[in-house]
Structure 1
Amino acid sequence: MSHPAPYPVRLADEITRQLGQLADHLSQLPAPQAAQVIARVLDPDAGVIGGVTHLVATGSVFAKDQAERGALPAEVWLALGRASNQLHDIALDLDEQKDTLQDVGTQPATTVARPPAPAPLVVRRHR
């Protein structure tokens, strides 16, 4: 007889399932609603990106402790630490776009005299 998965494992599976559902819904939403959803996901403090970054950072602390005890190879800790740092950097980059997405999501649906001009897809980033 198999043992049921512990609660944290079931929780991780459920979050993964819900993220898939969110992505499916996102592809069907009108642009203003999709922009609102994306802005919430990108919130570095209360959004999915912030939550995943925090989770990976917590995993890095766990892996460091286990690596120091010899239970995990140091490479696992280093990889999680690197991923945590990169996610943090990505969250900061995306946070710069959050306000723009929120603005798009809250603009009233009015008729526009002329359609907006398409933007070039290659943009230089300023740091």
Structure 2
Amino acid sequence: MPYPNPRIIVLADRIALWMRQMSRLLDQLPADQALNAVSRVLHPDDSLLVGFTSLVETGARIAREQAERGELPPEVCLALGRAANELHSIGLDLDEHKDTLARAGAPAGAAKGRPASPAPLVARRHR
């Protein structure tokens, strides 16, 4: 087995650090700015979520190849495949709300239309 590429390890560590930093910074932002950042991170077309989903899908494909050669337990391959499927489903769930998130994160005064009214938080999941 070849030695791990140190650049990819450093990159993975930096990305994880940046994500933790971003999460902490979101708590300090005004709501409109935080929503703007969240809508960019979770946008289903081109975002961090899309990149992460692609990364997990690639990992699942590699794990499958390794499992087929007997170099990795099949449970790992299946777990990565399920994770990739779940991330894809999350992207589909968010897709129907991308415009709403973008409007909610727009600068004050830029949003048009009727203001949102308070609503009880109820799980409404439909696929």
Which bin holds the TM-score, normalised by the shorter protein? 0.7 to 0.9
Asked if the contact 2:63/2:76 (under 8 Å) is kept, the reply is yes
Structure 1: runs of 5+ lacking an equivalent: none
Query: Which residues in structure 2 correspond to 1:44-59 (within 5 Å)?
Result: 44-59=44-59
4+ runs deviating over 4 angstroms: none
CA shift, 1:108, in A, is: 2.7
2:41 partner amino acid = V
RMSD, matched Cα: 2.1
Larger radius of gyration: 1
* Structure 1 pair 126–60 and aligned structure 2 pair: CA distance change class (3 A): closer
1:101 partner amino acid = L
* Structure 1 pair 116–83 and aligned structure 2 pair: CA distance change class (3 A): closer
Aligned identity (percent) is 54
Cα separation, 2, equivalents of 1:116 and 1:86: 29
Query: Which residues in structure 2 correspond to 1:47-86 (within 5 Å)?
Result: 47-86=47-86
**Across the two proteins, how many residue pairs are aligned to each other?**
120
DSSP-derived class of the 1:45 partner: coil
| Correspondence for 2:19 | 19
CA shift, 1:11, in A, is: 0.7
- TM-score of the two chains, using structure 1 as the length reference: 0.84
Cα separation, 1, equivalents of 2:40 and 2:69: 39
DSSP-derived class of the 2:44 partner: coil
Asked if the contact 2:39/2:101 (under 8 Å) is kept, the reply is yes
Cα separation, 2, equivalents of 1:116 and 1:94: 18
Asked if the contact 2:35/2:101 (under 8 Å) is kept, the reply is yes
* Structure 1 pair 116–77 and aligned structure 2 pair: CA distance change class (3 A): closer
Cα separation, 1, equivalents of 2:117 and 2:44: 30
- TM-score of the two chains, using structure 2 as the length reference: 0.84
Cα separation, 1, equivalents of 2:97 and 2:26: 18
